[in-house]
Structure 1
Amino acid sequence: MTETVRGTVRGMGSRANPAFAAGAILLPVLALLLAATVGTREQHTYVHVMAGVLWTGIDLFMAMVLGPVLGGLAVDARSSVFERFTPKMTFLMPSLALVTIVGGITLALRVQVFPNAQPWLALFTAFTLLPALLSIGWQFDAFRDRRWLVAFGLSLLVSVAYLGTTLPAFEMTSHVIAVALAIVTVLSVLGFGVLLPGEVKMYREMTSDDPDTEVISRIGMRNAKLAGVQGVFQLAVVASMVSLRYGGF
């Protein structure tokens, strides 16, 4: 983990196209900020749902269409596709995931369907941040890296403080919300703790002195398969939201 984070982000942004990278992050985030602060409930719902549709649709497309197509190509051809495809996905998918998740939580609070929220959000924060960071540290052999230690230490401190101040008031929330939070926790750890680091590892391999197309291809195909796993979980979240809205499924 010797490369700088800033250098990696800048390099991936350059490969993705700087305008695309900036737009993929700024547009969804700004849309959510506006919808959640000055927009109507309907606009808030629209941003949350559209981000979720794109996130889920792209994941399912990768697993059901792109993955099988690439699986039939030679390793070098497959690697070449991932070299062009991965930098864009690195900016687009985390942005869509973040807006979907944060948009859903803030919307649930706004329409008052998330009772006793704070202890549950404290649990969600701890069970998302800490496993994701542990996964990142393991994948990059970074457990002794000062940057990882600082990030993990701060996350642990925040999680413990949040849990300590909210758990004494813990009560059961809506069963549907609890199930949705559990699924979103898995999605968050998988996305930010496995898929995103995999994309960074592919980029580093692409830009190494002697790129190994087998490594790039292997990680890319793994991510395509995991995208399908995410897609299934996302469909389960959709089912839970339908149940919440209509009182059943």
Structure 2
Amino acid sequence: MEVEQISASPKYLKFGLDFRNLIWVGALIATTIGVILGGNDWALRFVHIMASALWTGIDLFIGFVIGPILRSLELPTRRAVMLKLTPKTIFIMPMLAIVSPMAGWFLAVQSGYLELDFPELWWLIAALCITTAMAIQGIFLILVANFRVFRELSKDQPDGDKVNRLTRRFFYNVAAQGVLQISIIVIMVRFSTGF
């Protein structure tokens, strides 16, 4: 009996990334849209809190735990870790950066926070500004830097200096996002405890 040869590069695998992950990303975004349209307060709060907790936890863990550890490793070890870590985070982080603020906006509308008067409305404006900054930073800076590091490390002979520069920029952005995450937690606690 002959063993079937497995293709080294299946159609769904591009740039070393498994694009079948877009199926569950799309399913989660579709579920979030369904929850929003369904008007179920509990489900909307659950989606917002879970996406936000995951986004915050992963950001803080990568920025303040994984980042400093990886920076201290030699390139071959860092390469091995990043080649395993990046294909996971490159799909989950942008999805969380979309779902969390989307659910949060509709939760704010549903909860009547847009009807607040000043000075309480400043809390909502601050939340919107910080969340928008985090989403833009996450999708247009961190995701791009993450992908560039991954592409460089995927080469047979990665440029160590380039990897160091890109990795440093990536982890500084993730750490900055962690600080913004803590700021948004302070604001959310303010919302949950009343004004």
TM-score with structure 1 setting the length: 0.65
Structure-1 separation of matches of 2:152 and 2:113: 46
Query: Paired residue for 2:56?
Result: 56
Aligned in 2, Cα 1:93/1:80: closer, same or farther, shift over 3 Å? same
1:41-60 Cα offsets, whole Å, 9 max, x none, are: 01100001100000000000
Aligned in 2, Cα 1:10/1:19: closer, same or farther, shift over 3 Å? closer
Contact 1:64/1:228, CA 8 A, preserved across alignment: yes
1:145-190 Cα offsets, whole Å, 9 max, x none, are: xxxxxxxxxxxxxxxxxxxxxxxxxx99811101111111221221
Deviation for aligned residue 1:104: 0.5
1:17 matches 2:18: yes
Unaligned runs of 5+ in 1: 1-8, 117-170
Query: Paired residue for 2:171?
Result: 224
Structure-2 separation of matches of 1:68 and 1:203: 18
Deviation for aligned residue 1:19: 4.0
Matched residue SS, 2:166? helix
Aligned in 2, Cα 1:87/1:220: closer, same or farther, shift over 3 Å? farther
Structure-2 separation of matches of 1:224 and 1:198: 9
Structure-2 separation of matches of 1:28 and 1:233: 24
Matched residue SS, 1:73? coil
Deviation for aligned residue 1:247: 2.2
Query: Paired residue for 1:44?
Result: 44
Candidates 136, 139, 148, aligned match of 1:189: 136
Contact 2:44/2:107, CA 8 A, preserved across alignment: yes
Question: As a proportion of its length, which structure holds more helix?
Answer: 1
Deviation for aligned residue 1:222: 2.6
Structure-2 separation of matches of 1:27 and 1:231: 27
Contact 2:56/2:178, CA 8 A, preserved across alignment: yes
Contact 1:45/1:107, CA 8 A, preserved across alignment: yes
1:200 matches 2:135: no
Query: Paired residue for 2:8?
Result: none
Equivalent pairs counted in the alignment come to 183
Query: Paired residue for 1:78?
Result: 78
Contact 1:90/1:199, CA 8 A, preserved across alignment: yes
Query: Paired residue for 1:108?
Result: 108
Matched residue SS, 2:14? helix
Q: For 2:66, give the aligned amino acid.
A: L
Matched residue SS, 2:53? helix
- Larger deviation, residues 208-217 vs 187-196: 208-217
Query: Paired residue for 1:215?
Result: 162
Contact 2:83/2:154, CA 8 A, preserved across alignment: no
Deviation for aligned residue 1:204: 3.4
Structure-2 separation of matches of 1:87 and 1:220: 15
Map residues 43-192 of structure 1 onto 2, 5 A cutoff.
43-115=43-115, 174-192=121-139
Aligned in 2, Cα 1:210/1:68: closer, same or farther, shift over 3 Å? closer
Query: Paired residue for 2:9?
Result: none
TM-score with structure 2 setting the length: 0.81
Deviation for aligned residue 1:26: 2.4
Contact 2:79/2:153, CA 8 A, preserved across alignment: no
Unaligned runs of 5+ in 2: 1-11
- Larger deviation, residues 235-244 vs 49-58: 235-244
Deviation for aligned residue 1:74: 0.5
